[in-house]
């Protein structure tokens, strides 16, 4: 698909110097930069659109957005998933108004054009008014995205015909993702329902917070941590044995103590559950990953999905203008968990990271004020400081990615903005470099890598 | 599991006496005043030990879709709390580090359309009401939360206690950055 609108002279590098460690605030508030983000990033990235578990049966559908483009995600009779614009080719009206459901047809309210769950035009109201030459039904279906692909339950779609495969896009980050998506036989599912809320904040603040900002947690969330855990403060951070890892703009910051995030959830039964399965997890993923899972950690998939492995909130930051995003939150659990553990996790997530959660409430306030203060024309030209830990890059035998020591660090944030810059400036996605060079290229399954990356 | 009266309307919801209706109406007004004043100690005293405080997240679905989004307690919910969990949430305000609560949010709860019914259990009453909760914060942040509630209140020694509350907010997308409020 040709994405019109690209073609302005790229000059986005003037908004940051990641070697020096600063960003220009205009990327968080400028309307023109935001429009370019929609073209260059959201219309060309692999974007999360659904979890397989949300669409178990043929005809199951959900509606979501890719950037600001409204799309329908639908399960086909053959089990595959199609993604197409939620917009009728006749006058552009929406053809589906529900968040989710099951259907045989999407029918436009305006003139009764009817599409099947593959998006193909199947009929129109008073069809006799069209002469033979007027319309080719086959060419007037709902506009399909260019590609759909999945990784261990997560379904992604992209409007870009060319560019990396999803596996290449995720690259070595798959090694980390398996800790969330494949730590137990059977994989994951999302709990029923989705909670959406709006914030007057730039979408990148949510992403960068989860991609690397362990630093804010002990301060911003002191009250949340104490409320969930009988007044106990945040678990101490071990700067020697905690890390930032960045791959192609995705990032995971983490400790290796295995329990920090599980503690923050405030549900002892969940902590006990993971302690029970940890030896199996070590067999499945290796010793190192079994110690990372459950530690104080947070992660984002470029460009706009985030989650907390161990706390089990899973979320997407949907852009709605330079100074607004819509936050969609779900709870992700292992399919094989007993129901009472799924319930404990669901309650725990909503009490910490739902809109009324003891952690979430303090985050929204921060991101909103970080954004709206840029209405000031002087303020918006001031640089922001992103230099924390800039000299702590290390080579690590086990950990893939660009690795920095000490999880109080801006390294993953710099990695995210580097990828942002790569995409904003690249006219062809093929021209974008892997960051870093892939270690796992050609490795299909990253779960069991005996000897290779096992400690 | 529970012997308590249920929220679902029975075949006949017999109206309560004028006296009882007045007493429970005054109770929900008083509760609203406790919340407006952030007088959470007195509010918690109005809650029963076996409290269920539930505000489901409700997706927009077609009429033909029969997914139970209201009473299924395993689905996503803004609140799905027992008394201990409500107290945990409230303990955040005692820490002195709940940054987004200082300066304080200004609240007004408007409670209307109160109906009181007898239930199948003596001493427990079903109370329907509507709420308009208005919040204003810092310079010009404001939002409005509007919806229905259905409660079970139990007659205790000297006052009524809230046993069960279901809150149906009319938002699909919560038009606010957080929910630092009880409804």
Domain ranges of chain A: 47-149, 172-431
The confidence score (pLDDT) of residue A439 equals 86
Contacts of A99 in chain B (CB under 8 A): 59-61, 172
The confidence score (pLDDT) of residue A5 equals 52
The confidence score (pLDDT) of residue B8 equals 77
Mean pLDDT of A444-451: 68
Fold of A47-149: Rieske Iron-sulfur Protein (2.102.10)
Q: Does A53 touch chain B (CB under 8 A)?
A: no
pLDDT above 70 covers what percent of chain A? 96
Q: Can you tell me the distance from the alpha carbon of B130 to that of B112, in angstroms, rounded to the nearest whole number?
A: 5
Mean pLDDT of A39-59: 98
Look at residue A224 and tell me whether its pLDDT is greater than 80: yes
| Residue predicted with more confidence, A137 or A236 | A137
- Which residue reads 């930051």 in tokens? A317
The confidence score (pLDDT) of residue A454 equals 40
**If pLDDT is split at 50, 70 and 90, which confidence band does A9 have?**
low
What does the pLDDT look like over A148-200, one tens digit per residue? 999 999 999 999 999 999 999 999 999 999 999 999 999 999 999 999 999 99
Look at residue A1 and tell me whether its pLDDT is greater than 50: no
What does the pLDDT look like over A67-96, one tens digit per residue? 999 999 999 999 999 999 999 999 999 999
CATH fit for domain B18-169, picks 3.10.450.50, 3.30.470.20, 3.60.10.10, 3.40.50.720: 3.10.450.50
Task: Provide the 3-class DSSP secondary structure of residue A135.
Answer: coil
Contact criterion met (CB < 8 Å) for A358 and B88: yes
B47 HSE (CA, 13 A, CB side): 22
Query: What rounded mean pLDDT belongs to chain A?
Result: 94
Look at residue A250 and tell me whether its pLDDT is greater than 70: yes
Fold of A172-431: Naphthalene 1,2-dioxygenase Alpha Subunit; Chain A, domain 1 (3.90.380)
The confidence score (pLDDT) of residue A444 equals 80
The confidence score (pLDDT) of residue B112 equals 98
Active site residue A216: yes
A16, A421 contact by CB (below 8 A): yes
Residue A291, φ and ψ in degrees, nearest 5: -90, -25
A318, A326 contact by CB (below 8 A): yes
Q: What is the mean pLDDT of each run of 10 residues along chain B (183 residues)?
A: 68 83 98 98 98 98 96 97 97 94 95 95 96 95 96 94 98 92 96
Q: Can you tell me the distance from the alpha carbon of A141 to that of A124, in angstroms, rounded to the nearest whole number?
A: 12
Look at residue A283 and tell me whether its pLDDT is greater than 70: yes
Look at residue A11 and tell me whether its pLDDT is greater than 50: yes
Contact criterion met (CB < 8 Å) for A355 and B76: no
Contact criterion met (CB < 8 Å) for A356 and B62: no
Contacts of B65 in chain A (CB under 8 A): 98, 101-102
Mean pLDDT of A390-406: 96
Beta-carbon pairs below 8 A across chains A and B:
146
Judging by DSSP bridges, how do beta strands A195-199 and B173-174 pair with one another? parallel
A394, A244 contact by CB (below 8 A): no
Mean pLDDT of A308-325: 97
Look at residue A220 and tell me whether its pLDDT is greater than 70: yes
Contact criterion met (CB < 8 Å) for A98 and B61: yes
The confidence score (pLDDT) of residue B12 equals 56
The answer for residues whose C-beta is within 8 angstroms of residue A452's C-beta and 6 or more apart is none
Contacts of B67 in chain A (CB under 8 A): 101, 192
Look at residue A295 and tell me whether its pLDDT is greater than 90: yes
Q: Residue A101: which of B61, B80, B98 has the nearest Cβ?
A: B61
Contacts of A266 in chain B (CB under 8 A): 88
Answer positive or negative: Cα dihedral of A213, A215, A220, A225: positive
Look at residue A411 and tell me whether its pLDDT is greater than 70: yes
């Amino acid at each position: 698909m040709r994405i019109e609108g690209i073609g302005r002279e790229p000059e986005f590098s003037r908004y940051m110097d990641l070697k020096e460690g600063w960003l220009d605030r205009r990327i968080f508030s400028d309307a023109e930069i935001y429009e370019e983000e929609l073209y260059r990033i959201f219309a060309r990235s692999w974007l999360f659109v659904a979890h397989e578990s949300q669409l178990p049966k043929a005809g199951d559908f959900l509606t979501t957005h890719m950037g600001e483009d409204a799309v329908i995600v639908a399960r086909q009779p053959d089990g595959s998933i199609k993604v197409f614009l939620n917009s009728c080719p006749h006058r552009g009206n929406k053809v589906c108004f529900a968040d989710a459901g099951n259907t045989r047809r999407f029918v436009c309210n305006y003139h009764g054009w009817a599409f099947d769950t593959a998006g193909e035009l199947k009929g129109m109201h008073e069809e006799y008014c069209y002469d033979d030459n007027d319309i080719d039904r086959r060419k007037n279906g709902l506009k399909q995205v260019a590609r759909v692909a999945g990784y261990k339950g997560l379904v992604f779609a992209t409007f870009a015909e060319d560019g990396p495969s999803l596996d290449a896009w995720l690259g070595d980050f798959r090694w980390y993702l398996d800790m969330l998506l494949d730590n137990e036989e059977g994989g994951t599912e999302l709990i029923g329902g989705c909670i959406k809320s709006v914030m007057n904040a730039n979408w990148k603040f949510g992403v960068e917070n989860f991609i690397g900002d362990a630093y804010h947690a002990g301060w911003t969330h002191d009250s949340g941590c104490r409320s969930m855990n009988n007044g106990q403060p945040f678990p101490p951070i071990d700067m020697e044995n905690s890390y930032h890892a960045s791959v192609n703009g995705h990032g995971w910051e983490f400790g290796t103590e295995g329990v920090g995030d599980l503690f923050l959830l405030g549900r002892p039964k969940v902590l006990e559950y993971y302690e029970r399965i940890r030896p199996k997890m070590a067999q499945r993923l290796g010793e190192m990953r079994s110690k990372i899972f459950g530690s104080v950690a947070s992660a984002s998939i470029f460009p706009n999905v985030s989650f907390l492995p161990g706390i089990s909130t899973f979320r997407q930051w949907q852009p709605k203008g330079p100074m607004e995003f819509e936050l969609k939150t779900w709870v992700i659990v292992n399919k094989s968990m007993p129901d009472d553990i799924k319930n404990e996790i669901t309650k725990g997530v909503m009490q910490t990271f739902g809109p009324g959660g003891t952690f979430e409430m303090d985050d929204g306030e921060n991101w909103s004020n970080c954004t709206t203060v840029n209405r000031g024309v002087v303020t918006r030209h001031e640089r922001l400081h992103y230099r924390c830990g800039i000299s702590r890059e290390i080579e690590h035998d086990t950990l893939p990615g660009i690795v920095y020591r000490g999880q109080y660090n801006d390294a993953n944030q710099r990695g995210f903005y580097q990828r942002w810059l790569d995409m904003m400036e690249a006219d062809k996605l093929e021209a974008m470099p892997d960051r870093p060079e892939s270690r796992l290229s050609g490795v299909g399954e990253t779960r069991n890598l005996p000897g290779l990356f096992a400690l | 599991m529970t012997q308590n009266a249920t929220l679902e309307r029975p075949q006949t919801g017999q109206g309560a006496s004028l006296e009882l209706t007045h007493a429970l109406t005054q109770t929900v007004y008083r509760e609203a005043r406790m919340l407006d004043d952030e007088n959470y100690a007195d509010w918690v005293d109005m809650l029963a030990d076996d409290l269920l405080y539930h505000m489901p997240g409700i997706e927009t679905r077609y009429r033909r879709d029969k997914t139970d989004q209201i009473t299924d307690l395993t689905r996503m919910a803004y609140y799905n709390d027992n008394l201990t969990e409500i107290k945990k949430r409230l303990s955040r305000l005692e820490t002195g580090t709940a940054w987004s609560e200082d300066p304080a949010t200004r609240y007004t709860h408007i409670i209307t359309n109160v109906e009181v019914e007898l239930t199948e259990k003596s001493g427990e009453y079903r109370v329907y009401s509507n709420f308009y909760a208005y919040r204003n914060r810092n310079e010009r942040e404001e939002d409005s939360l509007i919806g229905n509630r259905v409660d079970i209140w139990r007659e205790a020694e000297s006052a009524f206690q809230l046993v069960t509350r279901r809150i149906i907010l009319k938002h699909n997308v919560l038009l606010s950055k957080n929910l630092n409020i009880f409804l």
